[in-house]
Structure 1
Amino acid sequence: MPKTSARLLALLSLLQARRDWSGELLASRLDVSPRTVRRDVDRLRELGYPIVTTKGPDGGYRLGSGARLPPLLFDDEQAVALAVGLHLAATGGVGVEEAAARALNTVRQVMPSRLRHRVDTLRVTAVERSAAPRVDSGVLVAVSGAVHAREVLRFDYASPPGHDARPPRRVEPHHLVTRAGRWYLVAWDLDRADWRTFRVDRITPRVPTGPRFTRRDLPGGDVAAFVADRFSGGSGGWPCRGEVVLHLPAAEVSPFAGDGVVEELGPDRCRLTLGSWSWPALAAAVGRFDADVEVVGPTGLRDAFARLARRFAEAADGSGEGA
């Protein structure tokens, strides 16, 4: 029979692995008697672990949630994963950096040296990105809570600079998602009777939340596809979509093509199919690759390149006359 301390750790690990255990099954796994299991459960309770006893022929034990946080048990890979997650949270720009750093320091202190060395080899430098503003962690918790409880969310939504203030919004919150470093709320707008996506960094929740609602079916049923569609021109995709051949390797174009499609045509040529809100915007997006371009089509894209060429030429010679 293993020593009591080792047996307690093994019992706790089993209780964390699944929701319900019968006493007989635990005794079999630990190679002890059911009476020993009962004594070990009592010892864990004394240490602060809220273990619930279930009655009946299929009764047994379940690790419940307590009012205070008891000591936790992690295997090596779980401990490293937790430390890495806290390290990333400490540089993630979501308003929990200080708490994550303190939690990481606490976890690191109780790690054995072999694991501490693995964690210490991870070095992450946070680079501020103007395109991804910080989000208050309290707002994230409030919005997520409304999504989970299916309660109508009322909030003030900040207007972009130079725009008039917007009236408060009333929505049925459905999903909290991240895309390209930003947090978004996918919700049914009650005043506009339509699906909307809201940037969470612009949301200021109002309390209390509204009444509970019955969840609606999201168009398409897939939140990832829904959000991707909203950022690719809405229903039906981009209004302007064109095709060009770039004199660059496909491997150099793909990382910067966004939702475009890149097809390799040779070691130094590739085909790029891309969409945008307008033909000039699409031509400008292609021009940023700084390579020779062959326009495959359509005519609208070819004309946009000609207009931009005239404008850029006039800007270069200082005439300043628009085309």
Structure 2
Amino acid sequence: MSTDMTARMLRLLSLLQTRREWSGADLADRLRVTVRTVRRDIDRLRDLGYPVDSARGHAGGYRLAAGTDLPPLLLADDEAFAVAVALRTAAGGLTGIEETALRALAKLEQVLPRRLRGQVTALQRGVTGIAWTTGGPRADPALLAALAVACRDHEIVTFDYTTRTGATSPRRVEPQHLVASGGLWYLLAHDTGREDWRVFRLDRAAGVAATGHRVPARELPGADPGAFVAARLAAAPTRHRAVATVRAPADDVRAHARHPATRIRPLDGTTCLVDASDDSLPRIARTLAGLPADYTLDADPDVLDHLRESAQRALRATG
């Protein structure tokens, strides 16, 4: 192969690895060649062992099929380093992924170019993780991966979902975005049964199954999925009510807020309301403890009892 042809085929392979399906016209436009040249290059990739599927007709296209004999991925330097960083720091809010991530990192390191291997080695030596055994809710990595694919391909999925009250029901949704917040993972999806947008906590979902039915992407109300999820979480009912009037400007309190669902409303230039209501009494206590100024509290009796007990334990410990 000529140098130009080799470079073009590597670029073609890289493009096929970034998207589920490409039309011949799109590939030709990206590579600045004819559609006929794209077809010839696809045939060359197949001769080299890359399983490239194609479909004829107006809606036809090319995609790199999955398979056990798929040759290694092609990653640019910045992509390889980004993968190494992600593996090394994986992965908050997921169950049992730490050891798997380190094994994957070891495999990646074996095939890295020498110019990157030193950077990754320095990263491994300079970064230390802390294993927090909080016993809190954790998402299943396999479930997260399945939903990530469904979001990418706009494929309808089904699963069983347990609500905050303990009721379980089957759901059929069009996944749109995954959002991580406060150690939890959330799925933003359009619920086909309820004909509305819903936010699902992944630690409460089970039995995710792809239907094979792909649909056009829906337009999300609002441009930012994270902000949309935060607003839905803020508006959701909670088991325990706790509202603090804080003697500090709203912007100062927002700078210290750890969770986007924390509801903060300015009263004037020097005070604001913080709605710390939650299903978890310890989380309410952590939110209030993080406030940067004095406050008065309007809360349910169980919240006040929990705060008093916590304060008394702290006082006994310091006495």
Tell me the equivalent position of 1:127. Answer: 131
The alignment's TM-score, normalised by the length of structure 2, stands at 0.59
Query: Shift in Å at residue 38 of structure 1?
Result: 8.8
| 1:13 lines up with 2:14 in the alignment | no
Per chain length, whose mean CA-contact separation is higher, i.e. which structure has more relative contact order (CA < 8 Å, sep 6+)? 2
Query: Any idea what SS the aligned residue of 2:171 has?
Result: strand
Query: Any idea what SS the aligned residue of 2:247 has?
Result: strand
Query: Shift in Å at residue 276 of structure 1?
Result: 3.1
Query: Any idea what SS the aligned residue of 1:150 has?
Result: strand
CA distance 1:6–1:92, shift in 2 (3 Å): farther
Q: Give the alignment's Cα RMSD to 1 decimal.
A: 5.5
Distance 1:113 1:23 in 2: 30
CA distance 1:156–1:275, shift in 2 (3 Å): closer
Distance 1:210 1:40 in 2: 33
Which protein is bigger by CA-based radius of gyration?
1
Matched residues, number: 277
Distance 2:81 2:210 in 1: 38
Distance 2:108 2:88 in 1: 11
Contact 1:173-1:185 within 8 A present in 2 as well: no
Q: Which runs of 5 or more structure 1 residues have no equivalent in the other structure?
A: 28-33, 264-268, 319-323
Tell me the equivalent position of 1:78. Answer: 79
| AA partner of residue 13 (structure 1) | R
Distance 2:85 2:39 in 1: 36
Query: Shift in Å at residue 128 of structure 1?
Result: 2.0
Query: Shift in Å at residue 62 of structure 1?
Result: 5.8
Q: How do 1:1-323 and structure 2 match up within 5 A? A: 4=2, 7-17=5-15, 19=22, 20-21=27-28, 25-26=32-33, 44-50=45-51, 64-65=64-65, 67=67, 68-89=69-90, 93-122=94-123, 123-128=127-132, 130=134, 132-143=136-147, 148-151=154-157, 153-155=158-160, 157=162, 166=166, 168-175=168-175, 176-186=178-188, 188=191, 190=193, 197-205=199-207, 220=221, 223-234=225-236, 243-246=245-248, 250=252, 254-256=255-257, 258=259, 259=262, 271-277=271-277, 288-289=289-290, 293=294
Query: Shift in Å at residue 104 of structure 1?
Result: 1.6
Query: Shift in Å at residue 257 of structure 1?
Result: 5.7
Tell me the equivalent position of 2:19. Answer: none
Contact 2:264-2:273 within 8 A present in 1 as well: yes
Query: Any idea what SS the aligned residue of 1:169 has?
Result: strand
Query: Any idea what SS the aligned residue of 2:116 has?
Result: helix
CA distance 1:82–1:131, shift in 2 (3 Å): same
Fraction of identical pairs, as percent: 28
Query: Shift in Å at residue 169 of structure 1?
Result: 0.6
CA distance 1:5–1:89, shift in 2 (3 Å): farther
Instruction: After superposing the two structures, state which structure 1 stretch, 12-21 or 104-113, moved more.
Output: 12-21
Distance 1:315 1:186 in 2: 41
